[in-house]
Amino acid sequence: MKDAIEDLESQNAAGYILDLRGNPGGLLFASIDIARMWIEEGTIVSTVDRQGISDQEQANGSALTDKPLVVLVDGGSASASEILSGALQDNDRATLVGTQTFGKGLVQSVRGLGDGSGLAVTVAKYLTPSGRDINHEGIAPDITVELTEEQQQALIDNRDDIGTAADPQYARALEALNQAIANYRNGTRAQTVPQ
């Protein structure tokens, strides 16, 4: 991600679309590192256990760009991708386009059992910077774009259309990005675009 942003910055990119649709997540600290590439300051995520907030991850002044950003999300966006999209949204760093995310924001510890099997125990949950419980709510987009069954099937049948004008969610994200770029260039510095 760092190399991609730096490469695009060297080419004078005007703005960015980050596609997290169908991204089931990954490592927590990878999502924090990526958030820090976009967010200069502010909270990224809080981890809350039964006793309350046990850890809070912050941006560290290492953002690679402040140019407009739009993030695509859907029901397949889960876990670490929800942490990232929630941090970008709550810090007014990006406009989210698509549909509600999956809603997986639990910290689990796997304990080995004597027979070789394991038991996953939930020990904490993740909250967005504004305190939203990712696990219960997921992340709602700023601009909702539902795909019909026909549109979904068309994208499945023609994977090369994803991220093109034939992809309705991407097309709407590009509109939002163009509006955010215009605001950015006019000095309003508004990163997010209302629906």
pLDDT reported for residue 64: 98
Tokens for 80? Answer: 């670490």
Catalytic residue among 19, 74, 90, 142: 90
Q: Taking each helix axis as running N to C, give the angle between helix 80-90 and helix 28-38, from 0 to 180 degrees, rounded to the nearest 10.
A: 30
| Each residue's pLDDT tens digit, 171-182 | 999 999 999 999
pLDDT for 193 equals 56
Q: How many CA atoms are closer than 13 Å to the CA of 36, on its beta-carbon side? A: 13
Which residue's structure tokens are 């006793």? 51
Catalytic one of 77, 79, 81, 85: 79
Our answer to whether residue 90 is catalytic in this structure is yes
Q: What confidence tens digit (pLDDT) does each residue in 58-115 have?
A: 999 999 999 999 999 999 999 999 999 999 999 999 999 999 999 998 887 888 999 9
Q: Which residue has the tokens 């990878």?
A: 30
> In the chain, what are the domains?
2-185 (3.90.226.10)
SS (H, E, C) 78-123: CCHHHHHHHHHHHCCCCEEEECCCCCCCEEEEEEECCCCCEEEEEE
Is residue 66 annotated as a catalytic residue, yes or no?
no
**Which tens digit of pLDDT belongs to each residue from 84-93?**
999 999 999 9
Strand partners, 100: none
Strand arrangement, sheet containing 118-127 = 52-58, 43-49, 118-127, 106-112
Name the pairing type of β-strands 118-127 and 106-112.
Answer: antiparallel
- Catalytic option among 31, 104, 142, 167: 104
Q: Is 79 a residue of the active site?
A: yes
Residue 188 — very low, low, confident or very high, per pLDDT cuts 50/70/90?
A: confident
